[in-house]
Structure 1
Amino acid sequence: MVTLLTYAGDVPANAPVLRTGGVPLAPAGFEWPHCAKCGGPMMFLAHLPVDAGVVSVFMCQNQPGLCEEWDPAAGSNRAHLYPADAALPPVSAHPDGPTLLPVVNGLRPTESAADEYPDAVTAWSEAGNERRDALGQLGGEPCRLQADEDPACPGCGRTMDFALMLEAGRDYRSGMNFGGDGWGYVFTCAGCERAAFLWQC
């Protein structure tokens, strides 16, 4: 079984649901993350309620390709994990640089009987759905575009748990820069309340 993430239409920018785009929801005292390479503010990509809590994903887009934003340890992307019951009010966008996607897309978990992501997407399309509306995978076993790069938790050292995968987007306006047709991967360590993000293409 594979749980696809499929397009659920436009949603409000501050909706507390699975979505790409919009604005971050974060606890009091949150500071907008800046890239360790170029120093600029990162772009907010996604708000993702998952089993371990709520993940908020950011990635540098000030100098695409130059800041190693695909690497979970390079300091050019950031994933925050908050407890599911945490108070998370909306955060105003950082005023400098490209910090928000222009479109907000809701994501809907959609069960598939297929064993692997590509087969689930094929079945989804053959059932009369738009291929571009299949936007990722929730939980299960990740389908990797390259070698296994599952990160180790910086807190406890164990390999982090795969939470979900995101395709770049359904069109150019909602698209995230994962090197063209790449996929982004979110990992969590519930015990250490940490998350990590990487992408492959």
Structure 2
Amino acid sequence: MPSHTFHVMHADGPVADDAAGTRVGGLPLLPPGTPWPRCADDSCRRNLAFMGQIDLSGTGPAAPAEASAEVSVSVEERNGSVLALFHCLDWCVQTGTMYGSSHAAFLFPCAGLVATEPPGGSEGPLDREGDRMVLPAAGIAVTPIEVEPSDDPDDPEDDPPVSFYQGRDAWVDREGHPYADFLGQWAGAPTWIQDDDTPECAACGHGMDFVAQFNSSDRHYRPVYFGDYGYGYVFACEPCGTAAFHVQD
């Protein structure tokens, strides 16, 4: 049975808080004047934490921290889109799939974006557990690996041909990388914990394109945490400029 290519998203070292490219943490790059999103849960309504961004412009991972001055120029010149991802560190909604209540995704054209601090600045505010809303930025690299698909027709991990679990295990066990550095999957097909919950674009009514699936990692990368066994799913419809960020646990 032929192998399949699985694109691993993994940590790629610290970067500047305002770096272009795909990363977790730091400051979001937003159009000037964009209001900071709040948790939609009526019992919370606190400012969401910035989880990270996904660069859809094709420029690759974030630049090293010392290159932030050059990055500021390149942001103005790039084409394409950037996905900004936010979620509530207080975990207001804890059941099943969460639609934009304690999570939010925004798709913006790359040109003209500026690094934006949350209300209160980079040193605040705090969430209820005392965590900072602005967390250290780490670049995300994408590395393709070949994974043998399951040959067991009854294996629940056999759909898609190479599941998130198989790709993760191949990266950690076969390739010998630290589990903590595995941040998720780029492109391909999502592996759902529960039912398939691919969102429809509110503008065109078509199913959104799958962009990435994030692994929950509270040990090293605090922004990327969806409970002990949760995953974050990112979708976009670039022609319409819409995006969605779902979590299943």
Report the alpha carbon displacement of residue 101 of structure 1 after superposing the two structures with TM.
4.9
CA RMSD of aligned residues (A): 2.2
Residues 39, 171 of structure 1: alpha-carbon distance in 2 compared, 3 angstrom cutoff: same
Q: Does residue 201 of structure 2 align to residue 168 of structure 1?
A: no
Offset at 1:67? 7.6
Cα distance in 1 between the residues matched to 2:115 and 2:230:
29
Distance 2:189 2:34 in 1: 32
1:74-113 equivalences under 5 Å are 75-83=101-109, 85-95=110-120, 96-98=125-127, 100-113=133-146
Select the residue among 3, 21, 31 that pairs with 1:17.
21
Cα gap change, 1:56 to 1:175, in 2 (>3 Å): closer
| Aligned-residue offset at 1:150 | 1.0
After the TM superposition, which segments of 4 or more aligned residues of structure 1 sit over 6 Å from their partners? Answer: none
Trace 1:50-89 onto structure 2 (pairs within 5 A).
50=56, 53-61=81-89, 63-66=90-93, 71-73=98-100, 75-83=101-109, 85-89=110-114
Q: Work out whether residues 59 and 78 of structure 1, in 8 Å CA contact, stay in contact via their aligned partners in 2.
A: yes
Aligned residue for 2:7, secondary structure, equals: strand
- AA paired with 1:6? H
- Please state how far the C-alpha of 1:177 moved relative to its aligned partner: 3.2
Higher helix share: 2
Contact 2:81 2:107 in 1 (8 A): yes
| C-alpha deviation, 1:106, in angstroms | 1.3
| Cα 1:70/1:50, change in 2 over 3 Å | farther
Task: Give unmatched runs, 5+ long, in structure 1.
Answer: none
Structure 1 position 70, deviation (Å): 5.0
Percentage of identical aligned residues:
29
CA pair 47-112 structure 1, distance change in 2 beyond 3 A: same
Change (3 A) 1:183 1:177: same
Q: Of the candidates 195, 216, 219, which is equivalent to residue 147 of structure 1?
A: 195
Q: Give structure 2 stretches of 5+ with no counterpart.
A: 58-79, 148-161
**TM norm structure 2:** 0.72
Could you say if the C-alpha distance between residues 40 and 174 of structure 1 is closer, same or farther in structure 2, counting changes exceeding 3 Å?
Answer: closer
Q: Which residue type is aligned with residue 5 of structure 1?
A: M
Q: Secondary structure at the match of 2:168?
A: helix
Deviations 1:65-115 (A, max 9, x none): 348795224x332100012x4221100122234362533221100101123
User: For the residues of structure 1 that align with 2:92 and 2:32, how far apart are their CA atoms?
Assistant: 32
Q: Match of 2:166, SS?
A: helix
TM-score by length of 1: 0.88
C-alpha deviation, 1:117, in angstroms: 2.5
Taking the aligned partners of 1:27 and 1:104, their CA distance within structure 2 comes to 20
Q: Distance in 2 between matches of 1:56 and 1:175?
A: 13
Question: Residue 103 and residue 169 in structure 1: after superposition, are their counterparts in 2 closer, same or farther (change >3 A)?
Answer: farther
Q: Which has the larger radius of gyration?
A: 2
